[in-house]
Structure 1
Amino acid sequence: MHLLATQPGEIDDGATAVDLEQSPGEIVVLTAADSEIAGLAAAHARHRSEDDSFPTLRLANVMQLRHNLSVDLYTDAVISQAKLVIIRLLGGRSYWEYGVEQITTLCQRHNIALAWLPGDDQPDAELTAQATLPGEAVHRLWQFCVHGGPGNFRSLLAYAASLCGHDAAWHEPSPLLRAGLYWPNSTINTVADLPWDDNRPAAALVFYRALVQSANTDVIDTLIEALEGVNFNVLPLYVTSLKDPVAAATVRAMIAQKTPSVILNGTGFALSNPGATRSDTPFDDADCPILQTIFSGGDYQSWVKGTRGLSARDIAMNVALPEVDGRVLTRAVSFKDQNHRDQAVEADIITYRPVPDRIQFVADLAANWTRLRNT
């Protein structure tokens, strides 16, 4: 059996056994979402800055522990010495049968508090039944993750600390709308709250709610700045999905209030089916160009050094299918990248890295389409 030590910034596919080489922590959180790891690491840093006795935290991507030997190593080295273990698993117990079995058995044997949480917003009774914590506590932890965002991540860790016997103030999970307005470092409740100049044309910017949930909004903030720099009022809208009826209705209503001259869409897939009659979209009433903006799921270094361009997955999700809805392709403006190694939680922080010159290209393109539309 070959055993590899992971390197900073490396996400292994689970085909080879790896040792994450983490030291024990009082609270351990495993998740498949890099965005949750980044959000929880930031929340932990704030707690530790205010209280240096706040429990230690270890974060890891469960995808790195798909090999059975990797599970054994991590369980023996880290989980066996934790006070609380929280694992968010997408796909249910069957997706990670060995990990669920081994970790549950160990936590039961050593009286370690354990919460198994679904990886999405759908209940999974079979998975959560493996927890050693009471059902109310498991549900609360799950809701913190479902709604996400900096406030919920802070409360999740504060609540987790309280379960470990540490006195920490926390609030109940705060719901995040299925679609809504966003503005950097501000709370925006209505379109009237946006800092707009009525003499400027409007550009709507639509993107996934997951970026707000994880506080991974650098690429959105940079796009807003670039669009303002080419004389746009910006209407930033986050959505769960354009296929979600509530989210779609919200986008349609917001666009009706402030009709944009151009729409930049950062969500993938299409509402229409290839070869079928085109379906209505929330953008139709605007009657303006819709530019498809790509937040690539690939990593930045591979893209820079490679010669193949975007991955097949990126092309399918962000190029081929959006064209079915009639969107105009722009280019990739961000890539996943290792932001830094967080020594406090012993995890690599993966975020979307904005590429400034590509963002400026898209902003200029939006301005050109607006001028052409008004000619």
Structure 2
Amino acid sequence: MHIDGYLCEIKDVQIRDGLHILGGGPEAEPRVNLVLAVLRASQVWGGQANALPGLRAALAAHFGLVEKELLGEPGAPVKVPAELSDLVEGPSRSAADAIDLLEQLCRRAAEGMEERGWDVAAVPALVREVLGSELPDAVAVLEFACREVVPRLARTTDEIDHILRALNGGYVPAGPSGSPTRGLVNVLPTGRNFYSVDPKAIPSRLSWEVGQSLADSLIQRYLQDTGEYPKSVGLTVWGTSAMRTQGDDIAEILALLGCRPVWDDASRRVTGFEVVPLDELGRPRIDVTVRISGFFRDAFPHVVGLIDDAVRAVAELDEPVDLNYVRKHADEDTAEHGDRRRATARVFGSKPGAYGAGLLPLIDARNWRSDADLAEVYAVWGGYAYGRGLDGRAARGDMETAFKRIAVAAKNVDTREHDLVDADDYFQYHGGMVAMVRHLTGASPEAYVGDSAVPDQVKTRTLGEETHRVFRARVVNPRWMAAMRRHGYKGAFEMAATVDYLFGYDATAGVVDDWMYEKLSAEYVFDAENRDFMKKSNPWALRGITERLLEAAERGLWAEPDAQTLERLRATYLELEGDLEGDDQ
């Protein structure tokens, strides 16, 4: 990608403006920002997908542009219509420039509605004022914001009332779950007793479309990187993601295997699957090994059965093994030990009743030396097979056999409301898979991140690309750091946690470059404003950040640190240790 396009893509990334305060609804500029984030996606409304276009997509269409094409190749030269460039000042040479101009128009419209109190009657006149012409789609989207989005955000105050009602043994109104930035406005307002999806309706028809796109995007990226098809893909699957997306990950697994779900039209439930013929599929069937979370195991046992059934069905197809990698691998394992059931086990997780991947305590306690230690814990925690008749059977050997074949270790992100270094689970599950494969084979697999935050604009990036993207867009973004400073102790804690999770991903997958450690030192430790903030609000967070950076250097993850930087970090750590010890006495 051209550097201009890359920078504009980073600029277009949505990040959080601070932390949520219970019962506090957004007002003024924060409300404008949140409404714009919600309106960027096409809306699922009244049971209909794409009931309304995204606001930016509607504006793009008005000017003869296609938002999806602009985002697909942001560095490409584009002839920006004069009608657009006359309305908004700024460069107008590339697709990224066009996106920037459109985003400015969206913001101008949202700010205009904020000034008018989100009065629905004011929308048509505002659209004419902003665009200089009629635009029915933009009017419809902004009227939707006035009638649905803004009133639902205003009811964030319900959170405290409903918590108090629950503590008093009263009734808390129910509501659906999901991500409002994926077009699911009906999940608002928050503070309701949310219910999940119908487990037997996973994957939904909409998620099947997204899952196919994820599978195709992953395969195309691997072909681009290596020139061949991946023979086996390792995928991490969580229950929370399945609830938000209604099964994007499951749909991707079926698509990679060359299967498609079958639904009952009346109930919309999944009744089974059918195998896609090879001539229709147009590529080999990809073997898939799945590491599920404990929550997914508990919430979706029948989906585990569906995946298992699909794997076993594909393994028995009378097809050439060079076009059916599932059969190829199952035949090889059956020849080795004679147990076909073991040879088709592809779903692994924690033992029944256990949760997690086990790596966080190891990383936190600094109780590891090499990939062997990380892989040992990952295998001990995750070496249990699930499927028909398995139900958590100890199967470490079968897990390791499957992992040795993994060419791609993948994790999907379905929302921009959080990212890879917002929680430890990402590096524990995804990074742990990379470390496990590296230990077993001596080489790291390709590590990919599937991005379906905008369901109709799916992308696959390498883990390194996604880490760099998150680092530049959020981690060292002055706006994000300023937002954290508003939250005192908790804000400093979030900054320290971000450093910990970056370190964890580097320890497991090797994705943090030296310049990133230097930048963390400069922004989180040496920057006067951030340093003074943490020393005052949470000196333990600052000490933890400093200690973690020094550990990265000691372990060689930070391969060639600047000597002066290290000296300043050591001096800062000793100073903080002395201050905190003095406070304890």
Please indicate, yes or no, whether the TM-score normalized by the shorter chain is above 0.5. Answer: no
The normalised TM-score by structure 2 is 0.23
More strand by share: 1
> Relative CO higher for 1 or 2, CA cutoff 8 Å, sep ≥ 6?
1
The normalised TM-score by structure 1 is 0.32
